[in-house]
Amino acid sequence: MNLQRLMSQTRKAIDTYKLIEENDKIAIGISGGKDSLALLYALNGLKAFYPKKFSIYAVTVDLGFQNVDFDQISKICESLDVPYVCIKTEIVDIVFHDRNEKNPCSLCSKMRKGALNDKMKELGCNKIAYAHHKDDLIITMLLSMLYEGRFHTFSAKTYLDDTGLTVIRPLILTYEADIIGFINKYKIPVMKSPCPADGHTKREYAKTLLKQLSRENPGVKERMFSAISKDLLKG
């Protein structure tokens, strides 16, 4: 997938779910993975001609893993002329050493979002863009059904009462395969997650399950998305 198509899908999501308003200041959560980098390129490209003016900032939360270098993210942001901030934290020590969490993802996510929200307020941002894509939406729904007994997933836009910030997900109409195609086409360097829990979670199980369902039932992901979008994407 080329950049023009990626921006087209992103704009469709923004227009459909009214994700961006005039003079929004948007922080993009950048992990260095394929999804967040694709989102960075898409929003930066749209910024030049989208009818509603907005500004973007790239923000990384450094969890504190040893020997992780964020220089390549910094260089990408510099090449795009996007302001970049890296937040230093000790989340790894707290989650894996001090607390010795058996299921670390929940606490890590909560602390990471807390650090990100604090920095957003400091930057004067009113919105944060997460790089959740169409597959993530369906996988979250599967997880909710399998482990919580309810039909639930995230919305395209969520207002956080406790912070006064709004979360937007501009890649919600883009499949993961298209993001991979974009990253490969432009040879964008991607950072591998250093987390020891990566690839060994319930989310990874649901992702594998969705791939199997897709192989055995062509078109199933689009049908599942259609079922979700009727009720859960209104924000």
Residue type, 153: T
Tokens read off for 67: 């020997």
- Residue 198's pLDDT is 66
Instruction: Check which CATH number belongs to the domain holding 116 and give it.
Output: 3.40.50.620
Is 234 inside a domain boundary? no
Count of CB atoms situated within 10 Å of the CB of 154: 20
- b/e burial code for range 5-33 (CB count within 10 A of at least 16 → b): ebbebbbebbeebebbeeebebbbbbbbe
Is 182 inside a domain boundary? yes
Domain count, the chain: 1
Computed on alpha carbons and rounded to an integer, the radius of gyration of the chain in Å comes to: 17
Nearest residue to 191 via CA among 84, 73, 32: 32
- 175 in helix, strand or coil? coil
Q: What is the pLDDT along the chain (235 residues), one digit of tens a residue?
A: 999 999 999 999 999 999 999 999 999 999 999 999 999 999 999 999 999 999 999 999 988 787 788 999 999 999 999 999 999 888 888 887 777 666 777 788 888 888 888 888 899 999 999 999 999 999 999 999 999 999 889 999 999 888 889 999 999 999 999 999 999 999 999 988 777 666 668 888 999 999 999 999 999 999 999 989 876 565 5
Is 124 inside a domain boundary? yes
CA distances from 177 to 35, 132, 173, 182, 228 (A): 11, 13, 12, 9, 20
- Residue 63's pLDDT is 85
Domain that residue 201 falls in: 3-229
- Residue 129's pLDDT is 96
Count of CB atoms situated within 10 Å of the CB of 143: 19
- Residue 234's pLDDT is 56
- Residue 213's pLDDT is 95
Is 235 inside a domain boundary? no
